[in-house]
Structure 1
Amino acid sequence: MTRVLVARQDNLGDVLLAGPCVRAVAAHASHVTLLTGPHGRAAGELLPGVDEQLTWLAPWIDPEPPPVTAEDTAAFVASVRERSFDKALILTSFHQSPLPLALLLRQAGVPWIGAISEDYPGSLLDLRHRVDGDPPEPERMLSLAAAAGFSLPPDDHGALALRRPLPNTTRLTGGGPYVVVHPAASVPARQPSAAWSRRAVQALTADGHRVFVTGAPSERLLTREVAGPSAVDLGGRTSLAELAAVLSGAQVVVAPNTGPAHLAAAAGTPVVSLFAPVVPAARWAPYGVPSVVLGDQHAPCRDSRARVCPVPGHPCLETVDPADVCRAVTALAQPEAVSLSGTGSR
């Protein structure tokens, strides 16, 4: 009986990208607990292989962190201790350190901890894993699982995946084929303007597509503007599981580099990725499904990790021709679209 804690305390997309790693652990462990932050918890509920979720906001990861308090960290350590884990894997992005969490897990009595770490871990890690090159994020995390002795079973495809069945959303989408446009992103630097997204929706509807515009409740003003009179506005009308179902039923999803793009990939739907190069597309583009990356990947903001676009006019996305979006959607909607996976344009 092996109880394993797998930690990924970022946003929805980051948690979804951890899915193959979680499944690899679940194939060998008797019980898997997924530790997420509050922003990623809903995605964790959709991952196969998770037996339990634990949620705690990590002050060294959250973009708007609360003050660190002894009471908060003590309560977290106590909640980990009472679960008596045998092992823990800490999943982080390349710019994050696993060591603060490793220290707390040691205090909670976790006897074996593994993580990818460039920093010297001292006695905080039993496995200090290194990754060469710049692989896609799911492969990077999966390599840690493999180094810890957790491999995917032979019948696991290694792509992103969701718990099935998903909710029935035909009341929202009706019958017949459709395309989804998700205009929002978690940070402004990765999001095209509302005006550009509206032009893309108009181009898609003029091309004969039935278009649904999706978004969170806080994005209703944006989705209403983008949908206009030519598309159906679903902003704020779905839970995350229902959004996954809507994306699963789409022919193609058009979205910036944000959680719903990875949710579409986990649902098995091709993605037109409007990708601002503030982070590398090689690492963060939609994984495991046919996709086309649009956006200038050599723009001045490249690899800056900027949260707000540092270039006037946001040219990496605003100069994308909506006609290119239509062409990409048409290509990905074809059965032979798998050959386009990983392609890109400027």
Structure 2
Amino acid sequence: MSGTVLVARLDNAGDVLLAGPAIRAVAAGAREVVLLTGPYGSDAARLLPGVSRTVEWRAPWIEPAAPPVTASPVSSALPTSSAPSAPSAPSVPPVTGPHVLRLLRIVRDVAPDQALILTSAHESPLPLALLFRLAGAFRITAASADQAGSLLDVRHVADEGADPPEAEHMLALARSAGFDLPPGDDGRLAVRHPLPEVGHLTGPPGYVAVHPGVSCPARAWPVESWARTVQDLARSGHRVVVTGGADERVLTARLASGAGQHGLSPGPVFAGGWTRGGPGDACGPERDELIRTGGWAGRHVETAVDGWIDGWSDGELVAPDSAGGAKGRSVTDLGGRTTFAELAAVLAGACVVVAADSGPAHLAAAVGTPVVSLFAPVVPAGRWAPYGVPVVILGDQRAPCRGTRAVTCPVPGHPCLSSVASARVVEAVDRLTFAKESVT
């Protein structure tokens, strides 16, 4: 059993969530796990099982030049971000003595027995390893394609011909350091429970959650496509919850109000204040039972419309509306209204999450919810798609931007995603609606 292990993952929320299995492996063999993150990953870090405490430091070689801001590549600019509760931050700090000394003090206060530096394949762990060496004498493990000299005690070298999912890549590094998952741990992503109660915001579980925000323009689906998809989901009978950070309120309001302009919200109100349900109002076998018996717990006024259930006869699904939530609406706007933990709870209550390549897509996987992923191939989907849950990937994975890691799409018209029709998203949602029960 090791003493204190310092694990570093310095980038965004999704990267930190993908480190979860590796961190649980370390926690199974250590007295304490301290997780070092950057500001955009700290909220996710606090949700990870196995983490004893977190510390934060902005790495100049990893942090973006400014807080994440996107504009739809083929529509009007709207601010979005992949980490809903990420703090506003100034430009990247320069590599100065005071900034480096702050990290040295953090590491010396932690006083680790060893450290694991988790990085993506395109990132070098050696700058951080050098600073860790200056902070004290302890065992350091990292994956590095470059010779590391005395900077690393364990240099994990991945198979260059393989491109495993990122979660498995980091777990392999943990195994190189002598840590492995305990018996019974399936290696999927996970979060701490219990999560906050969010029924007053969302209504009963079984809605479709739509998260349009991304961290860079190259991964954005056009705003018009998001708006059309929200409308089409509502028309097909799904309740829709649109999520986003405080800096995404303009975007989420546009999507929700666009549905309202087409007569989709508010819908007919039944007992308890909720609009009629749809295929997404119950998951898997639960939905089958709802349709077979004609009601939730057998208390439904039996009215079938186009093969789905039209409402409830009593207060079985009562939900308060003190926060101005989804009462009487088929589309609910939660932009800027949730913490990261609350967002996790919202996604956990969904039958399916529709999202671009973003932190919330990985958060959906961590709470066991299937994902329809609008995935731009600037990074490989095999490595970065939502892990461990049923997923449908939409987007041309053979587009010219493939593997470029571009922040802004280099191809006019953004064809890899702009070619995806909303009907394909609705079809994918219907296909995955029954999948959640098999995951949870």
Do both share a fold (TM > 0.5)?
Answer: yes
Give CA-to-partner distance per residue, 1:111-143, whole Å, 9 cap, x none: 200000011101000011011110000000000
Select between 30-39 and 319-328 the one with higher mean Cα deviation.
Answer: 319-328
1:220 to partner: Cα distance: 0.4
- Give the alignment of 1:167-178 within 5 angstroms: 167-178=196-207
1:18 maps to amino acid = A
Match of 2:346 among 223, 226, 246: 246
Structure 2 residue 128 is matched with structure 1 residue 101: yes
Structure 2 gaps, min length 5: 66-91, 265-330
CA apart distance, 1:110: 3.7
Please report the RMSD computed on the Cα atoms of aligned residues, expressed in angstroms.
Answer: 1.3
1:311–1:337: structure 2 CA closer, same or farther, 3 Å change rule?
A: farther
Q: Look up the match of 1:152.
A: 181
Deviation of 1:337 after TM superposition, in Å, equals 8.4
Secondary structure of 1:159's aligned partner: coil
Residue of structure 2 in register with 1:79 after alignment: 106
How many angstroms apart in 1 are the aligned matches of 2:32 and 2:175? Answer: 18
Deviations along 1:180-215, one digit per CA (max 9) or x if unpaired, are 010110111101111110011111111110001100
- 1:83 deviates by 2.0
User: Which structure 2 residues correspond to residues 268-283 of structure 1 after superposition, within 5 A?
Assistant: 268-283=368-383
Give me the whole-angstrom Cα distance separating, in 1, the residues matched to 2:422 and 2:102: 51
| Counterpart secondary structure, 1:2 | strand
Residue 124 of structure 1 aligns with an amino acid whose one-letter code is: L
Q: TM-score, normalised by structure 2?
A: 0.76
Question: Contact between 1:85 and 1:110, CA under 8 Å: does it hold in 2?
Answer: no
Report the counterpart of residue 26 of structure 1 in structure 2. Answer: 27
Moved more, 213-222 or 70-79: 70-79
1:176 positional shift: 4.8
Equivalence map 1:1-346=2 (5 Å): 2-64=3-65, 65-132=92-159, 133-228=162-257, 229=260, 230=264, 231-335=331-435
Q: Does 167-176 or 143-152 show the bigger shift? A: 167-176
Deviation larger for 228-237 or 32-41: 228-237
Question: Structure with the greater relative contact order (CA < 8 A, sep ≥ 6): 1 or 2?
Answer: 2
Q: Distance in 1 between matches of 2:436 and 2:150?
A: 51
Contact 2:18 2:166 in 1 (8 A): yes
State the distance in 2 between where 1:42 and 1:95 align: 24
Q: Distance in 1 between matches of 2:380 and 2:117?
A: 22
Q: Which sections of structure 1, spanning at least 5 residues, go unmatched?
A: 340-346
- Per the TM alignment, residue 273 of structure 1 is displaced from its structure 2 partner at its CA by 0.5
Aligned-pair CA distance for 1:175: 1.9
Whether the 8 Å CA contact 2:369–2:436 is kept in 1: the answer is no
Structure-1 residue corresponding to 2:85: none
In structure 2, what residue type is equivalent to 1:59? P
Identical-residue share of aligned pairs (%)? 60
- Partners of 2:233 and 2:183 in 1: CA distance: 40
Aligned AA (1:71): P
Question: Take 1:338 and 1:136, find their aligned partners in 2: how far apart are those partners?
Answer: 21
Contact 2:4 / 2:33 at 8 angstroms: preserved in 1? Answer: yes
List per-residue Cα deviations over 1:289-312 (Å, max 9, x = no partner). Answer: 011000000011100101111112
Alignment CA distance shift 1:87-1:336 (3 Å): closer
Contact 1:166 1:242 in 2 (8 A): yes
- Rounded to whole Å, the distance in 1 between the matches of 2:183 and 2:94 is 45
